[in-house]
Structure 1
Amino acid sequence: MANDTKQFVSFYLGKEKYGIDIDLVQEIIRMPELTRAPLAPPYVEGLANLRGTILTVVNGRLRFGLERREFDESSRVIIIDYGGRKLGFIVDRVSDVVTVSSGDIEKKETGQGEFVDAVAKTGDGELVLVVSTAKLFPRIQKKPGQGSRTVEKRVQDKAEEKEGERQLVSFRVGSEEYALDIMDVQEIVHLPESISKIPGAPYYCEGLATLRGRLLPLVRLGSLLGLDGEVLDDRCRVVVVNITTDIGRITAGFAVDGVSEVLRVSRECIEPVPPMLKSNGTGFISGICNLSSERLVKILDARRLFNESDYEVLFTEDTGEVSMDKHTDTGDEDDQYVTFMLAGEEYGAPIAQVQEIIRVPRIFAVPRAPEFVEGVVNIRGQVTPVVDLRKRFGLETSGRNESSRIIVVDIDSTRTGLVVDAVREVLKLSRRDVDQIPEIFLEADETGFLSGIGKVRKGERILILLDFMRLLSKKERDELRDLGSEADQGAGS
């Protein structure tokens, strides 16, 4: 009778034949493109995008204690759905679907490995080891403080700007460096592939682009500022800016030659525009940031970049060209992340945790420093410990180049620099597009700094989201604080 039989999807790992209850198998796919996560359990190969769903993919050989081998054309991923929890399980090859009488399934409590709970005997006498699917999924109690809600609370705590300082996004236009207040910057994106021209638009308007379903006026900032020779290419970035005016809140994209850094600067470093440079054509410059004798950054006032006639042409509905962006601030619906690269994978961290982003200066080695500390750097007179995230995450070390950056954060009241391969952009991400960390990652004690998995364009890009405040253990934070104190005392003596 049908009720006296069970069906299993059978597969091979090494020489053994295993089976998984067919009712728990959602589908079987070829090896997908994987995004690797740092310090995950060794059997976790990475994360995959399965039609918009972020899926943890596990190496069946390593999970069962077998030797690793290279994947080949026979390798398959069995997608298991166990009570709504999904997992990708890599096997050497899939065999067939076997039907076994219930009387030919013998329970095995011991002797067949922790992931096998029975042995099924097929009609032709072949033995199939029945996998206990429940044991493939970890039973992990989340540690206090783990999860995105707690992260958001800490982000709010850190979001208060330090008194006497301003946070700026700096960028290049031609040979000059400019900056905007970070509160005016919604995000930074690559130059859109598709830009529609607007007949009769001002000379500096490149056209219209679409950003997540909304029309975005795209402005050549160099042309708007009266600079010549501006060329838009793949190296350009678009700084998406929210501008609050008397007629409401509007959004525009400014094409720049490249984004330099996120700066946190003392207001004492910002000088007013010299009177002899003030004119009707330069009212959009609100100050000059004097970082060094060789580096002056001109701060733009987003509200003064356009005049009233510009607003009427670009942002009003009467012309039929593009409407003012009248959507209300989504507030708690969206978060901003700084995205960066490490060993070919893309990561993100809340921008509220980032003090500034700088190029990598000379790093001074410190005797008897903790293993995870690269050394110290001098940032405007302040000695700052530096952590190489490649080393912290156990990734292969790599030489520094022009793209390398230091992300400066405050970890437990200790100003700290984090070395990354490159900073990519500032991204606005809806909380609906952030998945929780798969429970299987929590089996590794060292992954508490993972705060979520971000899905960009329905998972076309996967971001591994970090909580910098949980990057180091308490012991490591204490060591870092002691190192910072010693370095400060040494610099002052």
Structure 2
Amino acid sequence: MSDNTLETESIYVSFGVGAETYGIGIEDVRQIIRVPKITRVPKMPDYVLGMTNLRGEVLPLVDLSMRLGYKHPCVHGEDTRVIVVDKQGILTGLIVESVNEVKSTEMHDIDKFPDILNAGVDKKYISGILKVGKGEDVSIIQLINTDEIIDIDSAGKYLEQNSALIKKEKKEDVVAGAIDEKRFISFNIKEQEYAIEIHKINEIIWMPEVTSVPGLPSYVLGIFSLRGEVIPLLSLHSRFGMTLNRDDETTRVVIVDIGNVMVAFAADKVNAVVSVDESLIELPPKVYEDQEGSEVSAVLKLEDGKRLVMALEPENLVDDAELEALKSVAEQSKGGTHMNYDVTNTADEEKQIVTFQIENEHYGIYIQKVQEINRYTNVTKIPKTPKFVEGIINLRGEVIPLIDLRSRFELETKPRDEFTRVIIINLQNMKVGFVVDWVDEVLRIRQEDIDPVPPVLGAAVNSEFIEGVINFDKNEKMILLLDVEELFSRAEIKKLENLQEG
């Protein structure tokens, strides 16, 4: 027996990375799966590919080739697999090029890792070598030290430091300027732009699968289910004498609460969140004003009066008899089962999130931090500013620095197009604009739907700007919830303040 021999026995899963064969103790392996859909996470080490949804759990994915110190990632092919490792309750997915077999070892079969073997690999990641076969047919399996690969010490410290904060709700900031301004979400019905006050909107979603119900008025498109609630879908197009194109990718569904009944209507596209000074909100034209219960409650005069937006009153979208009929349809569609739904309690737990895309990944910001959403236009470039500062814009007399989130997340630049939007954020004592590829929707979610950042990601780099992960099991979609306060250092915030001060 060699002095190098470690006295142990175990069962190992062997797998390939490049030209080498490695092994992981079966006690650390929860399961082996095919490569799933990956959600990329910005500003991660090159070996962290992102994360995915594993039956409701957020699973970080690590390219084992890059993690071991090779200069090339794993080659993805038909045999590529993810080995899900469970270390002290911390799950990590290790991407490997192929899984070979399960090896059972006997006492004294494992040797220490020779210093001259496989110089391309950091030795701390290898706990020993397993010799398989006899004579000239001996093959070598390098055994992975999963504690080092996952950095279990750092991950454990991260968990310990953040365990008290994981489910702790942050105080919702009061939006600056809310006393003299009202906030609306604007949308289009054909060419006309309408808006509803933001606090009257429960949620904005993509067009769901709608079930037609016979015997309903023509303006009712049908019903759909959302988190156990049956919601009737109205066509304002029909009400306003127009036709809805349901197949358009920009179509959205706006959900409002009318008399404690959830009602939805379709819009051709959602434009922006706008803050409107009360001096720019006027009574509707007399033709609307004279109609009792008119849908139009006010006219918003935007862009120096060049852009007129009709503000709608949700309570007047349907009359009392129609509302009772819609309520009856929703109740009957539940099969007569009444949900135990405490509106007061759930409202305290629910959060509204503005979601958007950058490089096909989905991000979210608490709506309390969002002042408004505008089109990308009239940007003034400023020399000698940080790389991520695109320039400044003039927003109703206020200088707003523009942050290119692509640059901030170290992604390639992308030409601005008709979908590019600027999200105006309240950041400490100032406003800044985030340039994003696309604004998706406004979601209403429960606090319990927000998962913490996996400790492996939290320990790998400074990921404090990711506050949590909204994990949609059904459509395999993940939303990274951003903490805008943590996106910038103190020095960077000072530079942004200097830009505003001119």
Is 1:414 the counterpart of 2:430 in the alignment?
yes
CA positional deviation for 1:459: 5.6
| Residue in 2 that maps onto 1:68 | 72
**1:140-219 maps to which residues of 2 (within 5 A)?**
140=155, 141-142=157-158, 148-149=166-167, 152-154=169-171, 156-158=172-174, 162-199=178-215, 201-219=216-234
| Residue in 1 that maps onto 2:290 | 279
What is the SS of the residue equivalent to 2:105? strand
**1:310-459 maps to which residues of 2 (within 5 A)?**
310-316=322-328, 320=332, 327-329=341-343, 330-458=346-474
| Residue in 2 that maps onto 1:106 | 111
- CA distance in structure 1 between the aligned counterparts of 2:331 and 2:363, rounded to whole angstroms: 41
Is 1:136 the counterpart of 2:146 in the alignment?
no
Is contact 1:99–1:122 with CA below 8 Å preserved after alignment? no
| Residue in 2 that maps onto 1:233 | 247
| Residue in 1 that maps onto 2:60 | 56
Q: Quickly say closer, same or farther: Cα 1:400–1:446, change in 2 above 3 A.
A: farther
| Residue in 2 that maps onto 1:290 | 301
Q: Quickly say closer, same or farther: Cα 1:232–1:101, change in 2 above 3 A.
A: closer
- CA distance in structure 2 between the aligned counterparts of 1:424 and 1:44, rounded to whole angstroms: 26
Q: How many residues align?
A: 476
- CA distance in structure 2 between the aligned counterparts of 1:79 and 1:459, rounded to whole angstroms: 21
- CA distance in structure 1 between the aligned counterparts of 2:333 and 2:80, rounded to whole angstroms: 53
Q: What one-letter code is carried by the residue in structure 1 that aligns with 2:319?
A: N
- In structure 1, the gaps of 5 or more residues are 487-493
The 10-residue stretch of structure 1 (359-368 or 456-465) with the greater mean CA deviation from structure 2: 456-465
Is 1:45 the counterpart of 2:52 in the alignment?
no
Q: Quickly say closer, same or farther: Cα 1:209–1:131, change in 2 above 3 A.
A: same
What is the SS of the residue equivalent to 2:435? strand
| Residue in 2 that maps onto 1:260 | 271
Q: What one-letter code is carried by the residue in structure 1 that aligns with 2:147?
A: A
What is the SS of the residue equivalent to 1:241? strand
CA positional deviation for 1:118: 2.2
Identity across matched positions, percent: 33
Superimposed CA distance per residue, residues 121-167 of structure 1 (whole angstroms, 9 cap, x where no aligned partner): 334343322211122223144478995556x424x124687211111
Q: Quickly say closer, same or farther: Cα 1:457–1:8, change in 2 above 3 A.
A: closer
Normalised TM-score (structure 1): 0.89
| Residue in 2 that maps onto 1:303 | 315
Is 1:115 the counterpart of 2:130 in the alignment?
no
CA positional deviation for 1:424: 0.8
- CA distance in structure 2 between the aligned counterparts of 1:326 and 1:205, rounded to whole angstroms: 26
| Residue in 2 that maps onto 1:489 | none
- In structure 2, the gaps of 5 or more residues are 1-6, 117-121
- CA distance in structure 2 between the aligned counterparts of 1:318 and 1:96, rounded to whole angstroms: 54
Superimposed CA distance per residue, residues 272-323 of structure 1 (whole angstroms, 9 cap, x where no aligned partner): 2244541226623221111133211111111222211112221147994688
The 10-residue stretch of structure 1 (330-339 or 438-447) with the greater mean CA deviation from structure 2: 438-447
Is contact 1:198–1:208 with CA below 8 Å preserved after alignment? no
Is 1:92 the counterpart of 2:92 in the alignment?
no
- RMSD (CA atoms): 2.6
Is contact 1:198–1:321 with CA below 8 Å preserved after alignment? no
- CA distance in structure 1 between the aligned counterparts of 2:403 and 2:167, rounded to whole angstroms: 26
Normalised TM-score (structure 2): 0.88
Is contact 1:10–1:18 with CA below 8 Å preserved after alignment? yes
Q: Quickly say closer, same or farther: Cα 1:160–1:408, change in 2 above 3 A.
A: closer
What is the SS of the residue equivalent to 2:324? helix
Is contact 1:26–1:80 with CA below 8 Å preserved after alignment? yes
Q: What one-letter code is carried by the residue in structure 2 that aligns with 1:295?
A: R
Q: Quickly say closer, same or farther: Cα 1:28–1:316, change in 2 above 3 A.
A: closer
- CA distance in structure 1 between the aligned counterparts of 2:368 and 2:59, rounded to whole angstroms: 28
